[in-house]
Amino acid sequence: MTTSVQSVLAAVVSITRTVAGVLSNPVVAAVLPTGAIPGYLLLAAALAERGEAAQGDLVALDAQIKAAVAQGRGLSVDELAQWKQRDDVATASIATWLAAQANAKAAPAK
């Protein structure tokens, strides 16, 4: 991904967050029938941000695959083990988050 494209993506995320922030302002919200639009935009910005971050990792994965193709093999045992390790970390993190949500729901209301 070129630097200029990265800059454009960063600007899109920034502008979206700014617009969402303005719409969240109580005064603006009082005069505009925006309803859930700020939350909607914030989610769009968050997803765009995630997409931007994913691109960096896709570039790295693409480089590993291209090197493997050039050598007529698959990913090395070490490379695959590193992906698996990252998978395990993310799995544990997501499971912990879901468990915390379930516990919060199960806790008696005060």
Partner 1 sequence: MKVISSRTLVLAAIATFAIAACAHDPVADSKTIEQKADAVYGEYVIAKEQVQALLADPSVDAATKTKIANATVATTPAADDLFSGLTAYSSAESDLVASKGTQAAVDTAVANLSKWLAQAQPLVDELMTLVGGAKK
d(CA 83, CA 87): 6
Residue of 86, 15, 27 whose CA lies nearest to 57: 86
Q: From its phi and psi, is residue 72 left (phi > 0), alpha (psi between -120 and 50) or beta? A: left
- Give least dist CB 108 to partner 1, A: 19
* Options 59, 106, 107, 108; binder of partner 1; rule CB under 8 A: 59
* Under 8 Å between Cβ of 23 and 41: yes
99 scored as a contact of partner 1 (CB under 8 A): no
Interface residue with partner 1 among 18, 32, 35, 97 (CB under 8 A) is 97
Task: Enumerate binding residues for partner 1 (CB under 8 A).
Answer: 1-2, 5-6, 9, 12, 17, 20, 39-40, 42-55, 57-59, 61-62, 64-66, 68-69, 73-75, 77, 80, 83-84, 86-87, 89-91, 93-95, 97-98, 101
